[in-house]
Amino acid sequence: MSQFNAFEEALDFSFWKNLCETRGERLFFRRGEYFVHAGEVLQRVGWIVSGGFKHSLTDNAGHAKAVGFVFEDAVVANYLSALAGEKMPTDIIALEDSEVMVVPSSYICEILDTRPEVKVKFLQVLFGQAYDHVLNIYRFTPEQRYAHLLERFPRILDLVPVGDLASYLNISRRQLHRFRNQKTK
């Protein structure tokens, strides 16, 4: 399956998957259940066996905004919280019933600390994706960002509620419906 996040294709996460499968605990999350709450330090990270999660923050007006997604065969984590002990800036919430193999965050830190070349590559790729995301907000119109998202991850419309997808694109639901209707004509 094509990965939602570009860094998932740019890095070899087999070490993460293997660690979670061999030393992890299998947990199940119901739709709407929290993997972690904003303001907490991430104590565990995981590998998604099935399902998906959204990263959500609350804006200054009190509205929840989806700022990222992760799906099956991918990592569920926040790297600043897991690696640096920072408080979570977002909630991580199950989009659907999900199965995750989890390990303590310290396990990943130990691996990255003993393999500095992997840690450097890891951070370079994450920074590059974050920077590209910011630039793309200015580079492309909302409609172009929507089209690129569908090209990169066509199943997004099947996996993510319309409201979450609209907030991820930083557009209104009405605008998203208009884009969807134009695509089907």
Total-model pTM: 0.88
Strand partners, 47: 75, 101
Indicate whether 24 pLDDT > 90: yes
Mean of the pLDDT values across residues 28-55?
96
Asked whether the predicted pLDDT for residue 97 surpasses 80, the reply is: yes
DSSP structure class, residue 88: P
Q: How many helices (H) and strands (E) does the chain have?
A: 9, 8
Structure tokens at 178: 């208009």
Residue range 4-17, pLDDT digits in tens: 555 566 567 788 89
Cβ proximity of 59 and 167 under 8 Å: no
pLDDT at 66 over 90: yes
- For residues 4 and 70, is the Cβ–Cβ distance under 8 A? yes
**Whole-angstrom Cα distance, residue 156 to residue 176?**
13
CB of 40 closer than 8 Å to CB of 88: yes
For residue 51, how many other CB atoms are within 10 A of its CB? 21
Residue 2 has pLDDT above 80, yes or no: no
pLDDT band at 32 (very low <50, low <70, confident <90, very high): very high
Banded model confidence at residue 185, pLDDT cuts 50, 70, 90: low
Domains of the chain, each with CATH number or no CATH: 6-115 (2.60.120.10)
